[in-house]
Amino acid sequence: MEEFFQQLTNGLAVGGIYALIALGYTMVYGVLKLINFAHGDLFTYGAYLGLTLLTSLALTDRLGFAAGVLVLALMVMGLVAVLGALLERAAYRPLRQSPRLSAVVSALGASIFLQNTLMLIYGARFQVYPDNILPAATLNIFGLYLPLMRVLIVLASVLMMVALYLFIQKTKIGTAIRAAAIDQDAARLMGIDVNRVIMLVFLVGPALGGIAGLMVGLYYGQINFTMGWVYGMKAFTAAILGGIGNIPGAMVGGLLLGVIEALGAAYISLAWKDAIAFCVLILILIVRPTGLLGERVADKV
């Protein structure tokens, strides 16, 4: 039983990261009906920018751990958000009126471009975060070993997801985003600047992806220019699982995927971990083609 709860917390920690990245996929899909395949690479940029800023500015030395990491997180979110907006401007806006397939190809191209740029700048070897930054405390609760950082990561993810949910549901700008997601033309007729809404979506989504990258870098320590592929793939799956286009769905889907992976690996087979996760996805889609919380069906792509 102890092992079961340990695996559950392992799954939640991984799932929290999936969920944060999944939010970026689902927000863009909700408004543009586009799968932003470059989103996983924006996540990688978060990890690399975090490393560069951390080592070059020595933030945690100057400001202490908590304030240093907080400032670092804000800087990474800001920079990756700008990168996301540039991506939208360069790769997607010119194709707004084109067939949807063109935008998907453009997304794949952007992904390859971003990934290889990173490799050319930082090199193909693994990069490593300095290992003395985070407090290495491990909590022991009823025999469960919970490294303090994992708890903080899950809490931070949940906090950001809740903040995003409130932003979308309760503010005027959030209402505009939801309106644009339902019908862009009608939203435009109601006086909403749809281009600005899309720009905003490309600021918020990548910012969340970037912070996920920073958390992965800080906690796991080792980063590499291809890591966005695996995480992007999983987060995309999580978004589908929860119902793509639906924000609470992405959160539930991410956490659920993490837990399914952990428990599948623990009680069925390690080597078949990914296969088990995808089988569950297929089963859920057979029963609920729109995903767990989804309302709209992805009819193309």
Q: Are 69 and 217 within 8 A, CB to CB?
A: no
**Cβ closest to other proteins, residue 167 vs residue 220:** 220
| Residue 7 touching other proteins (CB under 8 A) | yes
Q: Which of 226, 248, 276, 285 binds other proteins (CB under 8 A)?
A: 226
Q: How far is the CB of 247 from other proteins (least distance, A)?
A: 24
| Residue 51 touching other proteins (CB under 8 A) | no
Q: Are 259 and 242 within 8 A, CB to CB?
A: no
Residue 114 CA to residue 99 CA, distance in Å, equals 23
Residue with token string 């992904």: 111
Hey, which residues between 97 and 126 contact other proteins (CB under 8 A)? 125-126
Q: How far is the CB of 140 from other proteins (least distance, A)?
A: 8
Q: Which of 135, 145, 169, 193 binds other proteins (CB under 8 A)?
A: 145
| Residue 240 touching other proteins (CB under 8 A) | no
Residue 114 CA to residue 117 CA, distance in Å, equals 5
Instruction: Name the residue among 15, 45, 24 with its Cα closest to residue 208.
Output: 24
Q: Which of 76, 79, 181, 216 binds other proteins (CB under 8 A)?
A: 216
Q: Which of 1, 131, 282, 299 binds other proteins (CB under 8 A)?
A: 131
Phi, psi dihedrals of residue 233, rounded to the nearest 5°: -60, -50
| Residue 256 touching other proteins (CB under 8 A) | no
Binding-site size for other proteins (CB under 8 A) equals 35
| Residue 6 touching other proteins (CB under 8 A) | yes
Q: 162 exposed, middle or buried (CB, 10 Å; 0-12, 13-18, 19+)?
A: exposed
Residue 215 CA to residue 202 CA, distance in Å, equals 20
Phi, psi dihedrals of residue 160, rounded to the nearest 5°: -65, -35
Q: Which of 201, 227, 241, 244 binds other proteins (CB under 8 A)?
A: 227
Binding mask 9-38 for other proteins (x = CB under 8 A): -xx-xx------------------------
Q: Which of 55, 138, 169, 175 binds other proteins (CB under 8 A)?
A: 138
Tokens of 90: 């360069």
Hey, which residues between 171 and 190 contact other proteins (CB under 8 A)? none
Element (H, E) at 210: helix 194-220
**Cβ closest to other proteins, residue 31 vs residue 277:** 277
- Cα angle: 237, vertex 106, 114; to 5 degrees: 75
Contacts of 77 (CB under 8 A, 6+ apart): 207, 208, 210, 211
Residues that bind other proteins (CB under 8 A): 3, 6-7, 10-11, 13-14, 125-126, 128, 131, 136, 138, 140, 145, 147, 149, 216, 220-222, 224, 226-227, 230-231, 261-262, 265-266, 269-271, 273-274
